[in-house]
Amino acid sequence: MDRWFFEMPTLELCLHLLGKELTLDGVGGYIVEVEAYMGPEDRAAHSYGGRRTPRTEVMFGPPGKAYVYTIHGHHCLNVVSGPEGVPNAILIRALEPTRGVDKMIERRGRDYDLTNGPGKLCQALGITRQHNGWDFLDSPLRISEGIPVKTVAVGHRIGIENTGEARWYPYRFWIDGNEHVSRPRKALKKIQL
């Protein structure tokens, strides 16, 4: 990937992140599910209304960096999207494991359901708040070329029932038919790439 990759509009970047390989220190897999969080105008976003706090600060900076937050004792990884100053981010919700599976099994304490959820994949890869702000182009946390994607399914996002109309926004994207998607849902529509 190059710097331009992360300059794409957020929803477009979602499509292009699918199939890419995400790794930390040689452990990781193909990105198979993501969700967009569209900053100030998206009630489900941590940065809704331009809310700028120590937690959300990294989203106000340049795209291509990691935004890692904790919830319910778990960690979740986002790719900060642009344009710079607009606090958009893309939540990585699921991977298809490719590298370091033994390490993932050790960290997860089981040999199934290793990376089919935002908290699970962070545990499997060893991602914590210490990785907040890391650069995907210039750190051990990397996004690189992966596999071509034929069909992307689109649906509403998971776990944001208390956000009014925002819960229905079609901002969830996954590789159609992939076995590692966190919570199978019927697609609102499908996009052929």
Residues that bind DNA (CB under 7 A): 35, 37, 44-47, 51, 53-56, 67, 69-74, 76, 78, 89, 91, 108, 110, 113, 117-121, 129, 157-160, 162-163, 182
Rounded CA separation 15/20 (Å): 10
**Radius of gyration for the alpha carbons in the chain, expressed in angstroms and rounded:** 15
CA 101 to chain centre: 20
Q: Is the Cβ of residue 37 or residue 150 nearer to DNA in the bound state?
A: 37
Task: With CA atoms as reference, report the closest residue to 11 among 176, 187, 170.
Answer: 170
CB of 148 to DNA, least distance (A): 26
CB of 162 to DNA, least distance (A): 5
Give the residue with the Cβ less far from DNA, 23 or 132. Answer: 132
The alpha carbon of 50 is separated from its chain's Cα centroid by a whole number of angstroms, namely: 21
Contacts 24+ apart (CB under 8 A), 106-112: none
- Report the C-alpha gap between 136 and 172 in whole angstroms: 21
Instruction: State the minimum distance, in angstroms, from the CB of residue 193 to DNA.
Output: 24
Distance, in Å, from the CA atom of 115 to the CA atom of 121, rounded to the nearest integer, reads 4
The least CB distance from residue 73 to DNA, in Å, is 4
In this complex, which beta carbon is closest to DNA, that of residue 37 or of residue 174? Answer: 37
Q: In whole angstroms, what separates CA 118 from the centre of its chain?
A: 7
Nearer to DNA, 128 or 144 (CB): 128
Q: How far is the CB of 118 from DNA (least distance, A)?
A: 5
Closer residue to DNA (CB): 69 or 173? 69
CA angle 83, 87, 89 (to 5 degrees): 90
